[in-house]
Amino acid sequence: MNQTVTISCPAIFDKDLPQGEAMPENLALSAPVLMQQGWLDTPEPDFLPAEIRVGWTPSRLIVLAEIPDRDIFTKATGSNQRMWELGDVFEIFLQAVDRSDYVELHVTPPNLRLQYQIESPGKPATVLSDGVFSSRVKIDTSNQKWTVYAEVPSTLVTGRDQIATGEAWLFSFSRYDASRDGRPPILSSTSPHQAINFHCIHEWGKIAFCS
């Protein structure tokens, strides 16, 4: 059985963050964590592991995902649609260690978002207003990949405005890699799920906020 992951998440100064619609270039982010298919003995032949790095400022988590993709597409046309049924999507799951509720945040190639708050696994999800977290996407068709840059406010996860050094959150990053030819999407996650259930919190990793 694969082990859960702990990420040492480095602090970033606000002045170092990309401005406007720019994508980050030289942020001091964590070592990469790769997506996997823990429920399979052998990954699917077309599986392409995305690579995710994180960092933090006093008020938000920074997420950078490099997502290889041979067929970048979605049928989504607006925010808060059921993105996992419509094409490619990158998913962010976050929970404060002292809370039972958690958030599920989706980003698609055209930067359309879905944002949920969930009281606990198995409970109905509450749809949050678009923009409770921010994201940018860069599509690179020549290199068959898309990149997601996201900023998640601390208050969305913990109810507090600030993140403290030494604090920890539970996390999981997941993905639906869809194909426009109608084949079933290829699913993957940074968590070593033994069955396809991205909401299995005890298999999530931990983000440790360090200086």
Tell me the helices (H) and strands (E) count for the chain, helix number first. Answer: 1, 13
For tokens 């597409």, what's the residue?
Answer: 73
**Residue 174 within a domain:** yes
Tell me if 155 sits within 8 A of 99, measured CB to CB: no
**Residue 88 within a domain:** yes
**Residue 60 within a domain:** yes
**Residue 124 within a domain:** yes
**Residue 199 within a domain:** yes
Q: For the chain, how many structural domains are there in total?
A: 1
CA distances from 55 to 27, 37, 65, 160, 184 (A): 8, 25, 12, 18, 33
Q: What is the pLDDT of residue 4?
A: 84
For residues 185 and 182, give the distance between their C-alpha atoms in angstroms, rounded to a whole number: 8
CATH number at residue 172: 2.60.40.1190
Q: What are phi and psi of 85, to 5 degrees?
A: -95, -5
For residue 185, the enclosing domain spans 32-209
10-residue mean pLDDT profile of the chain (211 residues): values are 84 94 92 97 97 98 98 97 98 97 98 97 95 97 97 98 96 97 95 97 97 91
Say if pTM beats, i.e. exceeds, 0.75: yes
**Tokens representing residue 48 in the block:** 């392409």
List the one residue out of 74, 85, 70, 84 whose CA is nearest residue 111: 74
**Residue 107 within a domain:** yes
Tally the residues of the chain: 211
Instruction: Return the exposure string of 29-67: e unless at least 16 CB atoms fall within 10 Å of the residue's CB, then b.
Output: bbebbebbbbeeeeeeeebbbbbbbbbbbeebbbbbbbb
Q: What is the pLDDT of residue 3?
A: 74
Tens digits of per-residue pLDDT, 92-151? Answer: 999 999 999 999 999 999 999 999 999 999 999 999 999 999 999 999 999 999 999 999
CA distances from 33 to 1, 169, 193 (A): 17, 16, 15
| 3-state SS assignment for residue 155 | helix
**Residue 130 within a domain:** yes
Q: What is the pLDDT of residue 146?
A: 98
**Residue 16 within a domain:** no
